[in-house]
Amino acid sequence: MKNITDFLDKWSVRITLPLVLIIFFKTCSTNSKIEKTKEELTTQITVGDSTVKSVIITKEELKKMLTIEGLKAEKRMIQSTDRKILDVNRQSEIDKELQTLENK
């Protein structure tokens, strides 16, 4: 046990410094990759059909699609639980929001 503590006392700084540098450089490259993907937010989605089509979706369209799907999921959750009048009012609000989003 004394040998291990002597070894760590003598070499701990020399061991930890390269490890910290390696971790630092790994996280730097990860952040740059994330920033590059944020800039390229237009996404290509392939539609599975008899012929494969490529569709480009803009950031606004993607946000609209996510909002619609979130509202639909919220409505399904409300319908699956037995709650009272507040949920019925929220369901009608969700229906109105879905109508306006889908008609845009």
Q: Give the count of beta carbons closer than 10 Å to the beta carbon of residue 25.
A: 10
CA distance 7 to 12: 8
Mean pLDDT of 44-63: 62
Mean pLDDT of 59-88: 80
Do 63 and 102 fall into the same domain?
A: yes
What range does the domain containing 87 cover? 58-104
How many structural domains are present in the chain?
Answer: 2
| pLDDT band at 86; cut points 50, 70, 90 | low
| pLDDT band at 53; cut points 50, 70, 90 | low
For the cut 70, the answer to whether the pLDDT of residue 81 exceeds it is yes
Q: What SS3 state is found at 56? A: strand
Do 26 and 63 fall into the same domain?
A: no
Longest CA span, the chain: 75
CA angle 88, 97, 91 (to 5 degrees): 10
C-beta of residue 89 within 8 angstroms of C-beta of residue 70: no
Do 63 and 103 fall into the same domain?
A: yes
pLDDT, residue 5, reads 87
Do 70 and 96 fall into the same domain?
A: yes
Q: Is residue 76 part of a domain?
A: yes
**Which of 69, 89, 70, 91 is CA-nearest to residue 80?**
91
pTM, to two decimals: 0.40
